[in-house]
Structure 1
């Protein structure tokens, strides 16, 4: 399972071994016990990866092998590729842009996408130093 946490400052991607249904069920129970509103709905999420990342061609090949509704790629411009995912959006305020998005794909696709994101984050961090 991939978990994307969107905040006002950006987002964080995590690769979790827990099944999506179990994770969502735990979040629902937590919201019930803490009397916190929770909205859960099918949704899409996207993020950008640099177009010059090594192994991006492998991600394009993976896109054709995955469920066609799970993952799609779109060229934004000469510098970035947009990764679009289908999954579930969880948020305490339905109008908020901050929340958690979870999705599931094959283990290989999840791990590969996570590693590409980590590589992009490392490159961005080094460029800002």
Structure 2
């Protein structure tokens, strides 16, 4: 399972080992116990990866092997590839831009996506210095 946490300063992607259903259930139970609002809806999330990353070919191959249509890759421009995921959006403010997006993909696809995102963060911090 992949979890994308969107904040006012950007987002963070992490790979979790539990099942999507168990994670969502525990999140709902936490909101109930804390007496806080929680909206859950099917949605999509997109983010960019640099197009010149060497492992991108491995991700493209893993995406082609997916039996479900929960991920797509699109050429954005000469420098970036857009990754679009279909999953579940969870937030305490349905009109806000902060929340958590979760999706369940194949282990191989999740591994490559997580690795590429981590590498892109390192790449971005090096080029910004």
Confirm or deny a common fold (TM above 0.5): yes
Task: Tell me the secondary structure at the aligned position of residue 89 of structure 2.
Answer: strand
Is residue 2:62 matched to residue 1:62?
A: yes
Residues 51-88 of structure 1: CA deviation (Å, up to 9, x unaligned): 00111122112111113421100111001000000100
TM-score (norm 2): 0.97
Task: Tell me the secondary structure at the aligned position of residue 95 of structure 1.
Answer: coil
Residue correspondences, number: 129
CA distance in 1, matches of 2:83, 2:52: 14
Taking the TM superposition and a 5 Å limit, the aligned residue runs for 1:1-129 are 1-129=1-129
RMSD value over aligned CA atoms?
0.9
Residues 88-117 of structure 1: CA deviation (Å, up to 9, x unaligned): 000011111110000001111111110010
Residues 4-32 of structure 1: CA deviation (Å, up to 9, x unaligned): 00011100000000111000000000000
CA distance in 2, matches of 1:58, 1:110: 11
CA distance in 2, matches of 1:69, 1:20: 17
- In the alignment, structure 2 segments of 5+ residues that lack a partner are none
CA distance in 1, matches of 2:69, 2:104: 11
Q: Is residue 58–residue 112 contact of structure 2 (8 Å, CA) maintained in 1?
A: no
Give every structure 1 segment of 4 or more consecutive aligned residues whose post-TM-superposition deviation is greater than 2 Å. none
Task: Tell me the secondary structure at the aligned position of residue 108 of structure 1.
Answer: helix
